[in-house]
Structure 1
Amino acid sequence: MKALNIFLKLSLLSVVFLACTKKENKVFFEGSTPPVLTSTASVTIVLEKDKKEEVALVLSWTNPNYMFNTGVSSQNVYYIVQIDTAGKNFTSPKLQEMSIASDLSVSLSVQELNVFLSKMEFTPGVEQSIDIRIKATLLNGTVPTYSNTLTLKVNPYLDFAVEPPGTPDNNYEDGELWVVGDAFASGWSNPLPSPYDVTQRFTRIDIMHYELVVEMAGGGAYKIIQKQGDWSTQYHALDGGTWEGGAFEKRDADPGFPGAPTAGTYKITINFQTGRYAVVRQ
């Protein structure tokens, strides 16, 4: 009788335990359909600066229909337009990307497309081929899927990501640049005293490219100026830039470019076509 009571008690506990255990519903990703990308452009796109506000092309794509075991995803789908030099398989360091909200199309103006090509350092006035595709993801870039690739021919005009030094009336041929800051022996003196007005002056390679080989003190920061004694048309680093490189813009603002961590000779390269700078120890 005692054994029977124990058995009944254990059975009752088992029933209570099972009744209190919640049924777990797991969600599994089952797949998606690659977006189908189409374009309004079918011939060479000749980009002209005086038509920069006009539409260069319209890209459209289908919904990737992310599927889970619970049905079609109700999550937001995020899209990225990827543009690369034809044949680079979207692995080029000059790959350009543009984020789209949740739309299934985007209209690119002449200027917008030309800026992408400028950042890819395409030669103005020369026909070249680009590959375009759509990358679709869910939140935080999860489960990416890619569209088909379209190859288009483009002919860009001379443009820049950041306005170079000089004046537009002279086609920026009169541009000059200096570095000023406590990353150098000169400190923040502006105008630069002799001999720093010579040793901290950039060499102009062409309209879009400037270089300077200079001694850095180790630490500190600096700005790049167009005119001695004038801060109003300076260039400064954008957030995320390191002493080795990053993006910059033309504006009287902080932060400056971070100085190299250790003293030595460094080469600073400024690229106005891409809006990027690079610093390499010599």
Structure 2
Amino acid sequence: MKNIYKILIAFIGVLAVSCNADDVDNRPVIDAGTAPVLLTPKSDFSIVLTKDTEKDIATTVTWNKATYTGIQTIVNYTIEIAKAGTNFANPTTVSNTTALSKELTVAELNSAVLNGGFTPYQENNVDVRIKSVVGATGLPQYSNSYTIKATPYAAWANWGLIGSATPNGWNDPDTDLNYDLATKKYSYVGPLVVGEIKFRLDDGWATNYGDDGNNLSLDLGGANIPVPVAGNYTVEVDITNKKYTITKN
């Protein structure tokens, strides 16, 4: 009797393996078909983005659908941008969707352009294309591309440097601080004379930072930061963590 049970168990195991193998062999194969075709915006599109219109529609990106052979499944689309002429070596994602069009607000497009490393308040040549995949990441296909012109605005706070050590002294306007999207820090590289500096928001005294006397830390309304020797300096400010460094080059 035990032998009969063993034979039955072995038979069932072989049958199960055979069925699984058949399932794999008969599984539908999905292959790339035709790539999506970008329709709009085309290369004659140009826009100057402004903060006071950030809720307005900047443009509507439209494209023809991508096709895949085999079983029908959901196709996901990604709008990508890159610096013109780079062949999308380092693309930036603007938006993801399963639809065939996407309205982009001024704020959305501005954020994508800044994240792509483009310069604010300057006209930039921006390549746009569509990427399609089956499911989350499978079988990517890429559309044609168009080169649009976009002038983004700075979406970060306007921090500046003021004080007797700066080029403008204690007078308005402040010396602008550059913002680094990657590090989230502000910086100034240039000449300073013997004197003092502070950091101000929007060229006003309502929000200003100085030294708090504790290891290069900032405090709201803190003490003036001394510059004892004239020369070229690199000043870096981390507003979020209330830290700064000042280094003579």
**What range is the shorter-chain TM-score in?**
0.5 to 0.7
Match of 2:216 among 189, 195, 199: 199
Matched letter for residue 73 of structure 2: Q
SS in structure 2 opposite 1:91?
A: coil
Aligned length: 177
Q: Does 1:225 align with 2:242?
A: yes
Which whole-Å CA distance do the structure 2 matches of 1:35 and 1:144 have between them? 10
1:179-229 deviation digits (Å, cap 9, x = unpaired)? xxxxxxxxxxxxx6x4xx2434599978xx6369xxxxxxxxxx7138xxx
Which runs of no fewer than 5 residues in structure 2 stay unpaired? 1-13, 157-180, 187-198, 220-224, 226-232
User: How far apart in 2 are the matches of 1:137 and 1:57?
Assistant: 23
Asked if residue 117 in structure 1 is aligned to residue 120 in structure 2, the reply is no
Residue matched to 2:138:
142
Cα distance change of structure 1 residues 75 and 177 upon mapping to structure 2, 3 Å threshold? farther
Distance across 2 between alignment mates of 1:173 and 1:127: 33
Letter aligned with residue 151 of structure 1: T
CA distance in 2, matches of 1:121, 1:171: 29
Q: Counterpart in 2 of 1:210?
A: 237
Identical counterparts, % of pairs = 26
Bigger shift: residues 103-112 or 44-53: 44-53
Contact 1:164 1:172 in 2 (8 A): no
Distance in 1, Cα, partners of 2:204 & 2:77: 38
Give the conservation status (yes or no) of the 8 Å contact 2:36–2:64.
yes
Alignment of 1:41-80 (within 5 A): 42-68=44-70, 73-80=71-78
Distance, in Å, in 1 between the alignment partners of 2:143 and 2:206 is 43
Kindly indicate whether residue 124 of structure 2 is the aligned counterpart of residue 153 of structure 1.
Answer: no
Distance 1:157 1:171 in 2: 20
Return the alpha-carbon distance in structure 1 between the equivalents of residues 151 and 129 of structure 2: 19
Shift of 1:177: 8.4
**1:89 aligned residue:** 87
Q: Residues 42-99 of structure 1: CA distance to partner in whole angstroms, max 9, x if unpaired?
A: 332111222111111111111111112xxxx42111111111111112123xx32134
Is the contact made by 2:131 and 2:142 (CA closer than 8 Å) also made in structure 1?
yes
Structure 2 length as normaliser, TM-score? 0.57
After superposition, where does 1:128-139 map in structure 2 within 5 Å? Answer: 128-139=124-135
Distance apart, 1:145 and its partner CA: 0.6
Q: CA deviation at 1:121?
A: 3.6
Question: CA offset at residue 154 of structure 1?
Answer: 1.0
Question: Any unmatched runs of 5+ in structure 1?
Answer: 1-16, 179-191, 213-222, 227-266, 269-282
* Counterpart Cα distance in 1 of 2:99 and 2:31: 23
Q: CA deviation at 1:135?
A: 0.9
After superposition, what is the alpha-carbon deviation per residue over 1:10-47, rounded to whole angstroms, capped at 9, x for unaligned? xxxxxxx99xx655513223431110012146332111
Deviation of 1:123 (Å): 2.4
Supply the distance in 1 between the matched residues of 2:58 and 2:48 (Cα, whole angstroms).
9
Structure 2 counterpart of 1:127, which letter? E
- 2:166 counterpart of 1:170: no
Which is worse superposed, 26-35 or 197-206? Answer: 197-206
Q: CA deviation at 1:174?
A: 5.7
Q: Which amino acid aligns with 1:210?
A: V
Higher percent of residues as strand: 2
